[in-house]
Structures are given as C-alpha cells and as structure tokens.
Amino acid sequence: MHILCYPRIMDKFVVYHSSFSIIEKPDIFHGRTNTDFGQGFYVSRNKDFSLRWAKARKNEVSYINVYELDPNELNILNLQRDENWFSYIFDNRSRVNDLYKDYDLIIGPIANDTIYDTFGIITSGILSKQEAMKLLMIGPSYEQIVLKSQKAADHLEFRSYITLSYEEAISYRDLVLKEQEAYQKQFTEVMKAF
C-alpha cells in the first residue's frame, strides 16, 4: 500500500465518468456504499475504459463527462492488486465500515468479477479468501479513482463531455463482452486447479 499525503506537488490530470447525464458538479454522496472503494464519485484516467463501460438504453444517449483533477493538497491512497486491496474491497462490498473513508482520493485496480460474483462465492463458503484473490488477479487490470471527500470534488473541474448514441454505446459494450469471454476462460482454468 502506498499513501500520499499533501502537500506533494503533482500534475493535474484528465479523468472521465460515464453516465446518462451531464454532471458538472459531482455529488460524492450519491450512489451505493457497497462498491469497490465505498461511496464516492468514481472516475478513470482511461478514456477507452470509460467509453467501454458507458451504459446503453434504447432511444437515450450516454455521456462521458470529462474533468481535470488537481490532486494537490489531497490525502491520497494508492492501492495495488494485493491483499490490502482485496480486503478493502471485500469489506466495502460486505458493508463493513469503510476503513479508508477519511481519504480524499483512492486510486487502485477495479475488481474483475463482473461475470462471476467472486466475493459472493466467498460468503457462500465455496471458495476461501485466498482462492478468490487468485481469481481476482486474472484478467486485465483497469484503474479506478474514487473521490471520497467534498475537498476532492472541489479539486475536480468539469471540462466537457462526449456524447454516445445507443448504437455507439452498444459497439463499445461488444468489446467488453469479448474481453469477458476471455476472462471467463481464464476463470474456468483457475477454478479447475482448486
């Protein structure tokens, strides 16, 4: 685990958030609490990732909101794909108290369990935590950033948005489905070893 504390000087960077709305002023308290890094406003530095995860509804457009984030003077936690990351996600999804709720910004990998609810399998007793962690280590590693405090939201400046038609959003989702097929094969191979 790597912790950054202010006043370290860092460059501003561009982040993206997909939504059915244009969001100029994000609300960090909107949304579920049982997500990977707890409640907050989730963004990514990876534009392609944001396009691929844009939601699609017939006769509706999707938006990729574009922001500039100034990380200076923010209390930042950087997580890696390791046991601390795994435990933090498990606790958040299990609705245990958010261990890192006092950070302004948390940066780390997304848990690759969109096809199989790996954390649900743990709570059912089918897999141990060690086995589940092996499953979460396969597949691509995409970074997510969550703004956990109003201070972090105040360091986020809306720049523009990208509009995606339903058809465009579906074409990007097709890329995700192909990636999920490859992940499913890897998942099956790892499960056979248990």
**Per-residue pLDDT tens over the stretch 80-102:** 988 898 888 888 877 777 888 88
Confidence tier at 115 by pLDDT (50, 70, 90): very low
**Which residue ranges form the domains of the chain, and what is each CATH number?**
2-192 (3.90.228)
- To the nearest 10 degrees (0 to 180), the angle between helices 129-136 and 83-93 is 100
Predicted structure pTM score: 0.83
Which one of 30-44, 72-86, 134-148 scores highest in mean pLDDT?
72-86
Amino acid at site 147: L
29-68 pLDDT tens trace:
887 787 889 899 999 999 998 998 888 888 889 999 999 9
- Burial of 122 per CB tally in 10 Å (0-12, 13-18, 19+): buried
